[in-house]
Structure 1
């Protein structure tokens, strides 16, 4: 393993152990670390929808075997996993899933540590909200777990802050990270992009503002629209077809031409300029290399201004002069 400059890219291991075989998974993990990758993201439910038995755990098991086969690598990487979305029985998601009760949290986390073969994780995510359980109960369950940090994925901002407030009240570690879908293009209001199955799964201006105000990390999943920015065999999903994105695509094409980079690489660099940490869930080495090159791309202030221009607006105080 080399001493490459640490990369801000997150390697998403969602399909490891199901549609991505173990040899390919190991090759991707090795290349990621060789090129300075640090954060690896998985979940206890990955990938139940693609597994032979309808259950998750395959991704964590592959990661556990890779960690065991690479002595010393654990000190070089940070492991993030999620809980709360594993179906109770095969085929029962989303009606019946493990959820976020205290008992479910403790059982799920113990299972994750066993599959990963480690005694601690660097970041533990709540995968999706569970309104059948008070967030206070979940926060109290997290307080005693062997995790350095806690984050939430696919939660509304108000519920995140309610959980953070309770953690502070009991002297526990508050959530300090969000994981949401985000890209350069924005979906039409009231729609969800393909693959986003949670009501609050797409990063909103309110969630972004909440995170910035409280110094929370934001991880962006599916930032490359599953390859649609650059793969001619894939079309940009219909939810992104609106006038605002016409201007964004024009700006993206112009900056990509100036830099000589692919559109997806420019998207990754732009996300970083916004303080968002992009996640890659690819299955091929060339995709990983391209993404690592993208997050290393340095855009000029003028290029960033051009990319941001479609989102600019002038705010007028309705009470000014009264």
Structure 2
């Protein structure tokens, strides 16, 4: 396994594996026995960066979520896991009532919600400290200063380590970080957005964000990473839910444009040259590039995880990277 540092403060920064494991469907679609086997193999391979959220997976049973965190808590206790594993979770997008959704009834980012939701996540995970806590979606009904101060208070109390943000407009992220800096408070240091080798259209609603593609890591976000070297991008859905390789998983509508064919062709060329799968090329391209990107890939079987893990040792040549980066 290879590792990179997330965070800049010596008191809270962590060394994490260059491949993060997504636990979104653990405890719901992926049963406990399989989830435990995947987690065990990931740790055996040197992985130490596990991602979840307090609302996973509310859409499976029409509830409010919490299944993933609860399963991870049971796995931690059964395996005697301590702080050697970095657990990242999120708040703000948990439905307030069963049968509703984050799109119309999210818990939001008020100071009260942040404190209470973080406490519930700590209880479900069975940890004294959340290593990394994200604002899952934006909340325009609450002043950003209130949100920034609420997250900062948890860090000051020692119940949260690093702070992250997901699925927000970059100008909102920068404003929140500026407010934190002006107040002498910790700010967001990890950004979690959808990012893969294929590039989406931004004039077509995405699957997760029908009112606009705020979930995608576009040119603005990648430029932000270049300008702010202390930030890290955790790239969710790097494999587009299997769409690179599975005939039964078509690409989402926002990838339906002429540039997609050219990028797919280069991916397949590099896969043939290396003897790797297209999925492995995507993960290696992300994790070994110039920008600090940690691909976040889920797995529903140990076999899927093994394929992802093999990407860690895949070394792309400068020429291959240049070709992968050049296509539009």
- TM-score normalised according to structure 1 size: 0.91
Q: Distance in 2 between matches of 1:185 and 1:295?
A: 20
**Per residue, is there more strand in 1 or in 2?**
2
Alignment of 1:100-179 (within 5 A): 100-145=109-154, 146-179=159-192
Match in the other structure for 1:86 = 94
Q: CA deviation at 1:217?
A: 0.4
Distance 1:283 1:166 in 2: 40
Cα distance change, pair 198–18 in 1 and its aligned pair in 2 (3 A): farther
Residues 128 and 198, structure 1, Cα contact 8 Å, conserved in 2:
no
2:52 counterpart (17, 42, 49): 42
Are the equivalent residues in 1 in contact too, given 2:152–2:187 (CA < 8 A)? no
Match of 1:279 in 2: 296
What secondary structure does 2:153 align onto? coil
Of 38, 43, 52, the match for 1:33: 43
Most deviating of 17-26 and 274-283: 274-283
Offset from partner CA, 1:29-57 (integer Å, 9 cap, x none): 10110011111000110110113x51211
- Structure number with larger C-alpha Rg: 1
Cα deviation for residue 240 of structure 1 reads 1.6
| TM superposition shift of 1:97 | 1.5
Residue 131 of structure 1: CA displacement?
Answer: 0.2
1:181 alignment counterpart = 194
Which SS does the other structure have where 1:75 is aligned? coil
Query: What's 2:84 paired with?
Result: 76
Matched residue, 1:231: 246
- Give 1:198 shift: 6.8
SS in 2 for 1:180: strand
Distance 2:22 2:210 in 1: 17
Post-superposition shift, 1:189? 2.7
Tell me if 1:262 matches 2:272. no
RMSD: 1.5
Q: Which segments of 5 or more consecutive residues in structure 1 lack a partner in the other structure? A: 312-322
1:198-213 superposed matches below 5 A: 199=212, 200-213=214-227
Q: Across the two proteins, how many residue pairs are aligned to each other?
A: 306
User: 1:124–1:147: 8 Å Cα contact kept in structure 2?
Assistant: yes
Contact 2:19 2:309 (8 Å CA) reproduced: yes
> Measured at CA, do residues 21 and 120 of structure 1 come closer, stay the same or move farther in structure 2, by a change above 3 Å?
same
CA distance in 2, matches of 1:237, 1:112: 32
What SS class does the counterpart of residue 229 from structure 1 fall into?
Answer: coil
